[in-house]
Amino acid sequence: MNKIVECVPNFSEGRDKKVIEEIRKAIESVDGIELKDIDMGTDTNRTVVTFFGEPQKIEEAAFRAIAKAAELIDMSKHKGNHPRMGATDVCPFIPVNDVTMDECVEIARKVGKRVGEELNIPVYLYEYAATSTERKNLANIRKGEYEGLKEKLKDPEWAPDFGKAVFNPKSGATVIGAREFLIAFNINLNTLSKDYATDIAFELREKGRTVRKGNIEPFYFKGKLLKHEKGKFYCGSCDFIAKTSDELYSHIEKEHCYNGRELYELNDIDIDHLEGQSVKKPGIFKCVKAIGWEIPEYKRAQISINFTNYKVTPPHIVVEKARELAQKRGLVVTGCEVVGLIPLEAIRMAGEYYLEKQGRSKGIPIQDIIECAIQSLGLRDVAPFDIEQKVIGFRKPSEKDLVSMSVKDFNDEVSRDTPAPGGGSVSAFAGSLGAALCSMVANLTSSKSSYENCSKEMIEAAVKAQKIKDELIIQIDEDTRAFSQYMDAMRLPKNTEEEKRVRKEKMEEGLKKAIEVPVNTAKLGLQALEVLLPVCEKGNKNSQSDGAVGALMAFTCVTGALFNVIINLSGISDETYKNEMRNKCTEIYQKACELKEKCLKVSFERIGEKF
């Protein structure tokens, strides 16, 4: 669940596997990059590569790929069916998990600057990274393609965003930008009729549909096309008929039937000469493209959908509407299919939506939320759905990670004569257990009718506790890694004065890292205590002891982590840094003591006994 960015560069080579293999190696030479797909097209002479990683790593991998393509691909010899203007034709960055679009725009600009300056390739920015309206659309930038690029660069209006306005005959130009994640998604119907699938697809998609006369609702694909006539201009959304096109648009804007002229522009209709043109009905959902088709292999028809911005229109909302429209037509949605990949955020939204509809708490482990989404959407209807392979952003710990060990094995590992894992990792584990207990009590409260007055508050507490729990689980391994960095620095040579200086600097860097990690652990433990207090005060009395244990574990997390901070401060020479950390530790500890005491006090009071 780290920060994750997707990169989908398109290279102007789809026939020479050796070239693509070298580009693949360049991408994977950056540690931590996950390459998901390489799609080579012979006719298009183009290859699309999909890979993922953290922001800094994706930035470096993208640059290395573009540099390798510039080295191996000669655009002066390139022929293919797909529009293109450079060896790396386009390179978009897409936010997937815990990353904003602004961050992806910044990555696009950094990579673009390096490509322009270091590789002497003209770079244009597009989509969210575009520097002008004219450059937002990829097709507009690419107009004239490679063959027209030399003349295009002479036009001051088409000066590149990065690099010189000088034609590079070998590499051409590269378009770099940031865009939303595209989800390819199919909805399955219990019919082989393409007409039914197309009919529903046209209702759902943003582009909408043409209106037919003499329809027997809901079979909209029957009947003759309704066209605007002289003196009769139809709204398409209601029964209103205007005498002129201006009157029609006045009605549309006044009644908000749909967004003015937008629908006709979307369908490439001459809005100033509507007479004789088909009447258009607006679609239901924005950022949705859809068609219908038959899949003999599955023995059913599908509504094939592209979600161009799932944050505007998420898949589960469209699925629910499709179920409603299908039922009107005597059909059933049997399930769905994700083609390719889906972001964790999109499937989490779906899982939480269905949990809420069922009156269940959303404060449960992320795996359970995903499973709810899979079952509710029927994502295993026609093909297997492997969470690790299909959900981008869901990270299953490596077998080498401490968190993959059994409790016994972790306990044994701590007990050995090695400095790590030690108190820092154990503190994080204690905190994760405290947050887990908080979620448990909150969920046991929200599900009881006798606690209905605080059900919403308890669900919110469970959701917060799950997030804290997951972050503390990550800290278990982070603490050990941070200490290992310090130990590596200690092993550096110290034979010369220069080696001693470098070793001292690296040791201090390692110590600061070994301090920052437990500080973060302590902050998370404090957050757990903050969430635990109202749970102890209002939660299910039958689980009062569990809330109290949760508070003790969270407090152990805070104090244990802070002990790791103060013991490492002795090795830091930066007095300003040391004083800042001491003050921060004091503040965290005092707050934690106060919250822990409140949790225990209210627990004793509600139980009615003391020891």
Distance CA 399, CA 291 (A): 43
Could you read off the pLDDT of 477-530 as tens digits, one per residue? 988 887 777 778 888 888 888 888 888 888 878 788 889 999 999 999 999 999
Which residues does the annotation mark as catalytic? 82, 479
Q: What is the CATH number of domain 4-178?
A: 3.30.990.10
Question: What are the angstrom distances between the C-alpha of 192 and each of 108, 229, 267?
Answer: 44, 36, 28
* Contact present, 191 and 168 (Cβ < 8 Å): no
Distance CA 66, CA 23 (A): 8
Selection from 433, 455, 425 nearest residue 547 by Cα: 433
Selection from 461, 396, 402, 409 nearest residue 429 by Cα: 402
292-392 matches 4-178 in CATH topology? no
Q: What percent of the chain has pLDDT over 70?
A: 97
Q: What is the CATH number of domain 402-607?
A: 1.20.120.680
- Between the ranges 306-320, 480-494, 563-577, where is the mean pLDDT highest? 306-320
pLDDT at site 205:
93
Q: What is the CATH number of domain 292-392?
A: 3.30.70.670
Instruction: List the domain boundaries for the chain.
Output: 4-178, 209-281, 292-392, 402-607
Contacts of 222 (CB under 8 A, 6+ apart): 212, 214, 215, 216
Could you read off the pLDDT of 269-307 as tens digits, one per residue? 776 778 888 888 888 999 999 989 888 888 899 999 989
Looking at this protein, which amino acid is placed at residue 423? G
Burial of 384 per CB tally in 10 Å (0-12, 13-18, 19+): exposed
pLDDT at site 258:
62
Whole-number average pLDDT of the chain: 91
Answer whether residue 216 shows pLDDT above 60.
no
User: Binning pLDDT at 50, 70 and 90, where does residue 137 land?
Assistant: confident
